[in-house]
A and B are shown apart, each in its own frame.
Chain A
Amino acid sequence: MLAKRIIPCLDVKDGRTVKGVNFVDLRDAGDPVELAWQYSEQGADELVFLDITATHEGRKTTIDLVKSVARQVNIPFTIGGGINELRDAEILLNSGADKISINSAAVRNPQLIDDLAKSFGSQFVVIAVDTRSVEGHNYVHLRGGRDRTAIQTEDWIKEAESRGAGEILLTSMDHDGTKNGFDNSLLKKINETLHIPLIASGGAGNQQHFVDTFKDANVDAALAASVFHYGEILIPELKDTLRSNGIVVR
């Protein structure tokens, strides 16, 4: 059986992890490569690096980071942030990234999805969508949920799929940071019409939240950051919990 995936997400800036990390036995909590290796040892199925580097010089550091991760970590990883054109993606592919994630660049220029899928294959293209509910409708938001667009989330995800996206990473900005659980009603609704994998993001606070999103929304993967970084949820224990709830995990 295909296993449900658990994905820790690391924010990096200028080659260093940004958010605080509270692991035991960590020599350098700011080193994304060491963190990535720790997560892979714990049984993470995949990793996402979100690069928030703004400067051109910093981007070069990101490329070096991708290469280091690819050299040292034996599970797949995605890199997102700062990818605006084919050339950006190609450099990351050749540096060992398994997938790239694009968000606002795809909203601004949807053709980019077609071009990326055609050039590198759909499996390489993750479309990240930040959504927030406004008066009962879900709208795509940009800049970390600050800017609302006029595009409805369901419509955008359908369009991304038809243009060749290989996977959807859906973050509910209403749930993100609340630790009250994933937005399972929205995830379920989206997942029912989707033919590509769906990753749930935003709201993880405890192990039961992962059980719920896999059971209620039947998502393919669940992503979280702080609950893993601060050691509030340990991946081996989380997987035991999932297994005892009848969910297939690695």
Chain B
Amino acid sequence: MIGIVNYGAGNIFSLTAALDRIGVSYGMINTKEDFDLYGHIIIPGVGHAGAAMKKLQDSGLVDTILALKKPVLGICVGMQLLTSYSEEGNAEMLSVFPLRTLHFDKRIHEKVPHMGWNSVHIENDCPLFKQISDNAYFYFVHSYFIERDIRHVGASCSYGLSFAAAIQKDNFYGVQFHPEKSGAAGEQLLLNFSRF
């Protein structure tokens, strides 16, 4: 069973719908004790990273998340929370990864946000992409990106520059795109994670 951290940053309808479609059961995590009920944890998130971090801190769940040994997947802003710092709101993040979340603006000439389907190159044999072909397309909507660092990158994507589409470190994973909106490839990725 997957536990979804319910800290109030963004709507999770699409995520639960995707889990329903692939037949993976789930529940909501509202308290520290709830983490014990689940084998896998997803941290969702849309909107402002600084604001999301504030909400997560207010939820009182930060210490428990940092101590988790179960597989954890951060999605979009949920992934950015796992980095050390975000330029969005100039905010300190959870520092699970020694990576920064940076703004596309002024660094690329392309339109911002990076919105739509982009191809994703698998790196470091990231197990999230098992049975997914290299350069498969995933759906992105974001204005901030996580820098690509060879030690932690699970997949990269190119939009004016090369950034981390997926990151991995021990039991922690993150994806910048929205697997719940990324067709069959996205559903496969969620299924892969549920089997870790």
Give me the interface of A with B, judged by CB distance under 8 Å: 1-3, 5, 40, 45, 67, 70-72, 74-76, 93-96, 98, 120-123, 166-167, 194-197, 220-221, 250
Contact = CB atoms under 8 A, between A and B. Distances in A.
A3 B117 contact: yes
A38 B113 CA distance: 28
Given A75-B183, A123-B141, A96 B17 contact: yes
Contacts of A76: 139, 178, 181
Interface string B102-137: 000000001111111111000000000000000001
A1 B121 CA distance: 11
8 contacts: A2-B110, A70-B17, A74-B18, A74-B182, A74-B186, A96-B13, A120-B47, A166-B115
Most B CB contacts (10 A, CB to CB) among A2, A40, A71, A166 go to A2
B117 A95 contact: no
A75 B138 CA distance: 10
B133 to A, nearest CB: 12
Nearest to B182: A74
Given A98-B181, A123-B113, A3 B118 contact: yes
Interface residues of B, number: 33
Contacts of B62: none
Interface string B161-195: 00000000000000000101111101100000000
Contacts of A95: 13
Given A2-B118, A71-B17, A93-B11, A195 B181 contact: no
Contacts of B183: 40, 74-75
Query: Nearest 8 CB-CB pairs, A to B?
Result: A96-B13, A250-B137, A3-B117, A250-B117, A71-B17, A123-B141, A2-B118, A76-B181
Given A2-B114, A98-B14, 8 more contacts: A1-B119, A2-B159, A74-B184, A75-B139, A75-B182, A96-B17, A123-B113, A220-B111
Contacts of A196: 111, 113
A197 B115 contact: yes
A72 B16 CA distance: 11
A121 B46 contact: yes
Contacts of B117: 2-3, 5, 45, 250
B158 interface: yes
A197 to B, nearest CB: 6
